[in-house]
């Protein structure tokens, strides 16, 4: 498993691809699979605001569409264009739920990084307690 710093650096690079002309808030994510592959993503906005896609789900959907189904950790960075990724950026509730579908929430690590090297790490189960999980339907 990669170190948090390596994954945060990949997220910072992915953030450069963000398309966010409406919020000017640029986000990058790097998602590591159990087999070691990493998929990155950025947020992609739209003039019809509800169509906007978060960086985390861009990375997740790229990965799932390439056959990945098992993930171990994600790094996320975000911030206004003029400020860079100066402060940590927590994933929205929709992205927490989307990630839960494909990981073991008690083991899956969420690294919230910043450009200055700051990093706070959570387990997904702490960010989404008492979740509606896929097991509920079995």
Tell me the catalytic residues: 56
Residue 52 interacting with ligand THU (CB under 6 A): yes
Residue 113 interacting with ligand THU (CB under 6 A): no
Q: Among 8, 10, 27, 60, which residue sits at the site for ligand THU (rule: CB under 6 A)?
A: 27
Q: Quick one: 14 or 38, whose CB is closer to ligand THU?
A: 14
Q: How far is the CB of 137 from ligand THU (least distance, A)?
A: 26
CA distance linking residue 26 with residue 44, whole number of Å: 9
Q: Tell which residue, 65, 67, 5, 71, has the closest CA to residue 38.
A: 71
Q: How far is the CB of 25 from ligand THU (least distance, A)?
A: 4
Q: What is the size of the binding site for ligand THU (CB under 6 A)?
A: 13
Q: Tell which residue, 71, 84, 66, has the closest CA to residue 34.
A: 71
Cα distances (angstroms) measured from residue 44 to each of 5, 51, 85: 24, 9, 17
- If DSSP codes are grouped into helix, strand and coil, which group holds residue 89? coil
Residue 55 interacting with ligand THU (CB under 6 A): yes
Judged by phi (left if over 0) then psi (alpha if -120 to 50, else beta), residue 34 lies in alpha
CA distance linking residue 60 with residue 18, whole number of Å: 15
Q: Quick one: 32 or 56, whose CB is closer to ligand THU?
A: 56
The interface region with ligand THU, picked from 4-12, 21-29, 113-121, 128-136 by CB under 6 A, is 21-29
Q: What residue ranges bind ligand THU (CB under 6 A)?
A: 20, 23, 25, 27, 43, 45, 52, 54-56, 91-92, 95
């Amino acid at each position: 498993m990669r170190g948090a710093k390596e994954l945060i650096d990949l997220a910072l690079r992915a953030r450069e691809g963000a398309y966010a002309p409406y919020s000017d808030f640029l986000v990058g994510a790097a998602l590591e699979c159990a087999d070691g592959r990493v998929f990155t993503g950025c947020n992609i906005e739209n003039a019809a605001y509800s169509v906007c896609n978060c960086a985390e789900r861009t990375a997740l959907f790229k990965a799932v569409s390439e056959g990945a189904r098992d993930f171990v950790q994600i790094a996320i960075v975000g911030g206004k264009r003029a400020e860079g990724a100066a402060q940590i950026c927590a994933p929205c509730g929709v992205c927490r739920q989307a990630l839960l579908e494909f990981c073991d929430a008690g083991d899956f690590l969420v690294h919230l990084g910043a450009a200055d090297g700051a990093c706070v790490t959570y387990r997904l189960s702490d960010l989404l307690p008492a979740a509606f999980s896929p097991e509920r339907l079995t």
